[in-house]
Amino acid sequence: MKHCFCFIVICVSVISSCKKEKSCEGCRNISPVVSTQSNHAPIANAGMEQIITLPDNSNILDGSRCTDPENNITQYLWTKISGPSLFSIDNIKAAKTPIRNLVEGDYEFELKIVDAGGLSDRDTVKVKVISFQKDSFNVIFFFRDTTGGLDAANMLVTENFSPRVVLVKVKIAGFPEAVIEGVWSKRYSPWCPISSIYVDAAAWGSFNLPPGNYKWSAESITTNLAGLPGVPDSFKQYWESGPHKADGTITVRLGDNCIIKEIIF
């Protein structure tokens, strides 16, 4: 019995020690995974400055060009920080949203963006609303006697024919046609500021254009100048070989009040 008892004790001891000892071969070569990538702040972009001409009174606030290094922008918020009290924003939490009910004046809107990590950035955009005065003009078109006939006759401009003769019409879509009833010499030109009291006012055609990009076209109307006084023969011969046509583009920027455009036929 003694021998048997000892044997059992030894076995239990061996089993107990085996449970306490666990193999971890190669454990020393395993390191915990640690992310070295950190969050970076997003970059807000509220878009380009806007100019709106009444009666139009709405446009779009566009923050779609905002960026985030981790591509994780989660919040957008538009607020007005200055300008007239009358306005409305359709959805202040959208990246891109209409603004409406604007009145004449200077607005400034702020866009705040937040990423998934809580980092944020802000940007602002200005919106200028202007009125369009139809009783004035800021752009004039004119053309020259390229034959040199007026210069040879020591004349600066010939215009105001009797009976009335329209030499050229200029067209810009959405605006009344401009008529030109005279021609300029090679050495003489209209000047700024533009005024309706010009002695030579009939020799150019005028437009009042709000800021924007425009396409224009010009064409001769009356080409038979026979019998008109003050028109050199060289110009008569050239003009009667028409019709004459020209076209192009013109850009009007905010604050432009005197743009002089020469038509080259």
Question: What's the pLDDT at 197?
Answer: 45
Count CB-CB contacts under 10 A for residue 36. Answer: 4
Q: Which of 101, 92, 35, 105 is nearest to 61 (CA)?
A: 92
Parent domain of 153: 139-263
Q: How many domains does the chain have?
A: 2
Together in a domain, 101 and 60? yes
Q: Are residues 126 and 143 in the same domain?
A: no
Which of 222, 216, 122, 121 is closest to 168 using CA atoms? 222
Query: What is the tens place of the pLDDT at every residue in 118-161?
Result: 999 999 999 988 775 544 789 999 999 999 999 999 998 988 78
189 and 206 together in one domain: yes
Residue ranges of the chain with pLDDT lower than 70?
1-37, 132-135, 194-200
Q: What is the pLDDT at residue 199?
A: 54
Of the three residues 130, 161, 185, the one that is the final residue of a domain is 130
pLDDT score at 37: 65
Residue 87 lies in a domain: yes
Widest pairwise Cα distance in the chain: 153
Q: Please tell me the predicted confidence (pLDDT) of residue 139.
A: 94
DSSP state of 67: B
* Residue at a domain's end among 106, 130, 154: 130
254 and 148 within one domain: yes
Q: Are residues 145 and 250 in the same domain?
A: yes
The pTM for the full model equals 0.50
Verify that 66 and 120 share a domain, yes or no.
Answer: yes
Question: What pLDDT, on a 0 to 100 scale, did the predictor assign at position 191?
Answer: 83
How high is the pLDDT of residue 186? 94
With CA atoms as reference, report the closest residue to 75 among 121, 124, 109, 23. Answer: 121
Beta strand segments in 221-263, E: 245-252, 259-263
**Residue 193: how many CB atoms within 10 A of its CB?**
7
Give the other-Cβ count within 10 Å of 9's Cβ: 9
Residue 203 inside a domain? The answer is yes
On whether residue 205 sits in a domain, the answer given is yes
**Same domain assignment for residues 257 and 212:** yes
The pLDDT, as a whole number, for residue 132 is 54
Predicted local confidence at residue 52, as pLDDT: 84
- Assess whether 215 and 146 both reside in one domain: yes
Same structural domain, 78 and 192: no
CATH number of the domain where residue 69 is located: 2.60.40.10
Q: Are residues 217 and 118 in the same domain?
A: no
Write down the pLDDT at residue 192: 80
Of 130, 165, 184, the one marking the end of a domain is 130
